[in-house]
Amino acid sequence: MHKNKGPVYYGDYLQLPKLLDSQLPLSRKYADETNGECHDEMLFIVVHQVYELWFKQILHDLDAILSVFNKTYIPEVELSSIIQKLERIKKIQGLLIGQFDVLETMTPMDFLEFRDLLIPASGFQSVQFREIEIKLGLHTNDRMDVDREFFMGRLSEKDRAHLTEVESSPTILKCLEGWLERLPYTNTSGFNFWDEYQKSINAILKDDQDIIEANSAHLTERAKMIQLENLKMTRGTFESLFQTESHDELIKNNQRKLSQKAILNALFILLYRHESMLTLPFHLITSLMDIDENFTTWRYRHALLAQRMLGTKIGTGGSSGHQYLKRAADNNRVFLDLFNLSTFLIPNSRLPKIPLEVKKKLSFNV
């Protein structure tokens, strides 16, 4: 615990003179007799500065998480600390999304009064947001339909060098993969969970086929064929979990990111989330999904704001504006593998029974 070394003044502690003197509208600088300062440019600056302050806090928390999550052994108390910081990031994201409500009090014509003064500045150039994306696991080369040179070329040489260095550092996605791969419960002496799980899946799929056959009298031949084909595709999707070659092909085609072992162990956590030792891992996985979802929502709101303000005009940074932002929201998910695990969930009543020896390891023994 640190002790007070003397009187502290509120404004000095928060550096308020510096902070409150950093809103400098360009329309004020270039104002003349006919075109004075644009009133809503102050709002535009304040909102974006607040975004950057919250980005700074998110990075502060991500760095703390990575310093722990990158270890080969993570004590339970530190796992709790990781989840607590992820929960804070989620709360901050709620504020980030809510700021669009404030920005939308500005009309398109109010924005157009000062928009041309911003060219070629762009949200592309928010280095902190780019850093957040990279530290979560979205490298520039992972972005769909984006040329790296074009993307990085919008930045200053100093910022390009900084982000290139960040891309060589551990990410939440890679740390998650390593952590999941170390889960010890799915293959122990005398018990291979995945053999039992596949038996349950085969039984469920057989039930589905029996239902289709039993109702064939009420189906046209084409409808029956479509249902059977869909069932075949479902079977193939389940099989891709266990066929290393199929999984590697999906990774090669950017349809999966996590290793086969990591995905299987994440699925085990979701299936048995009610077991004591899996409660924190379950919260970790769902928190990462929430953060991914919140940033996707933030990007969608950004895209809608761009359309509301600009229609089909190009963005100040030269992008296609609304269309680019909408594609970015659709394509730049980090933890999509975790979302897709719902494909492989089965009813609790069909879950394989865990042997007593393994169940004890999943419980807190007093």
Which residues lie closer than 8 Å to 352 by C-beta, 6 or more apart? Answer: 193, 196, 197, 199, 200
* Cα dihedral 252, 243, 196, 225 sign: positive
Q: Is 46 annotated as a binding residue?
A: yes
Q: Is 44 annotated as a binding residue?
A: yes
Token pair of 11, please? 């404004």
Q: Is 308 annotated as a binding residue?
A: no
Q: State the amino acid at position 64 in one-letter form.
A: A
* Cα dihedral 143, 148, 150, 151 sign: positive
Tell me the C-alpha to C-alpha distance, in Å, between residue 44 and each of 27, 128, 215, 230, 366.
12, 18, 61, 50, 57
Q: Is 45 annotated as a binding residue?
A: yes
Q: Is 160 annotated as a binding residue?
A: no
Which residues lie closer than 8 Å to 33 by C-beta, 6 or more apart? Answer: none
CA distance 8 to 2: 14
Q: Is 263 annotated as a binding residue?
A: no
CA distance 180 to 174: 10
Q: Is 316 annotated as a binding residue?
A: yes
Q: Is 105 annotated as a binding residue?
A: no
Annotated binding-site ranges for substrate = 44-48, 115, 316
Annotated binding-site ranges = 44-48, 115, 302, 316
Annotated binding-site ranges for heme = 302
